[in-house]
Amino acid sequence: MLLIQAVLISLLCYLGALSTPWAFGIIGGWYTLSRPLVSGFLIGLILGDVSQGIVIGIAVQAVYIAMVTPGGQMPADLNYVAYPAIALAILSNASTGVAVTLATTIGVIGTIAFNLFQVSNSYWNHRAAKAIEAGDEKSFHFNTIWGPQFFNFLFRFVPSFLVIYFGAGFAKTMLNDMPKYLLDVMTFLGGALPALGIVMLLTVVIKKNYMWVFFLFGFVGVVFMKLNMIALAMVAAMIAVIYYFAISNDGNDTKSQTSTQGVNEDEEEF
């Protein structure tokens, strides 16, 4: 059973990679399948523990919610985080905090595989250039699509399968034998990393300092007022509408005052 599960999860890992075009390009692959929240649900479905998959997926998603990949360069391989890391965490019965720490570690290691894949593509680029010079359309097609995807499959499917199939038992034994203070440290770090991800997102989204009040209001609404997400979203929508009209009216008032001053100055000159 674990063999089939490892194959399915590793196949999803390949389909969600940044360089895989088969899942509707990067829209269906990288920007959908490789989101930890989506992968957590899919892995939980395959492993028979959907609730735990979603819980871990949400926690991991929060860490990388503000991550960008300029020019294809990334500080951590989100695809490795989304599949082998979350699957390993579920199979080893790791707590959410430990799972997040485990995922971030594997994500950093995954960048090595991603960089190796990018370097290996130079081999296919040279072959494609020679195919163009020779006018060989079939060779060009192979060296620009099938050859690179073969390497991509090796760098995605194979490591993911090996980690899930052979590493689950090892990880579970390691966590069980690990001293309690190390588990506490991993849990603490895993709990802090999602908060760090949210802060990074807010520094990008918030343009003016007073907008932090809106975030604090949402925090108070959930923690102290016990609002559920639907109620909080409705309240946030009302505040957003009021804020929008307040800003718009302020802008219109400023424009009207400017135009009135201009008319008065013209009358005085006349």
pLDDT of residue 193: 77
Per-residue pLDDT in tens (0 to 9) along the chain, 270 residues: 789 999 999 999 999 998 899 998 889 999 999 999 999 999 999 999 999 999 999 999 988 887 776 655 666 789 999 999 999 999 988 888 888 988 888 888 888 888 888 888 899 999 999 999 999 999 999 999 999 999 999 999 999 999 999 887 777 777 777 787 777 777 777 777 777 777 777 787 787 888 888 888 888 888 888 888 888 889 889 988 998 888 887 655 555 555 555 545 555 554
Rounded to 5, what percent of the chain is helix, strand, coil?
A: 85, 0, 15
* Cα distance between residue 48 and residue 236, in whole Å: 36
pLDDT of residue 54: 94
pLDDT of residue 263: 45
Inter-CA distances, 173 with 14, 160, 167, 178, Å: 28, 19, 10, 8
Helix axes 2-15, 36-47, angle to 10 degrees: 160
Q: What is the dihedral of CA 18, 22, 23, 24, to 10 degrees?
A: 100
CB neighbours of 172 closer than 8 A, spacing ≥ 6?
Answer: 91, 92, 93
pLDDT of residue 270: 46
Number of other CB atoms surrounding residue 267 within 10 Å: 8
pTM (predicted TM-score): 0.77
Length of the chain, in residues: 270
Determine contact, residues 20/29, Cβ cutoff 8 Å: yes
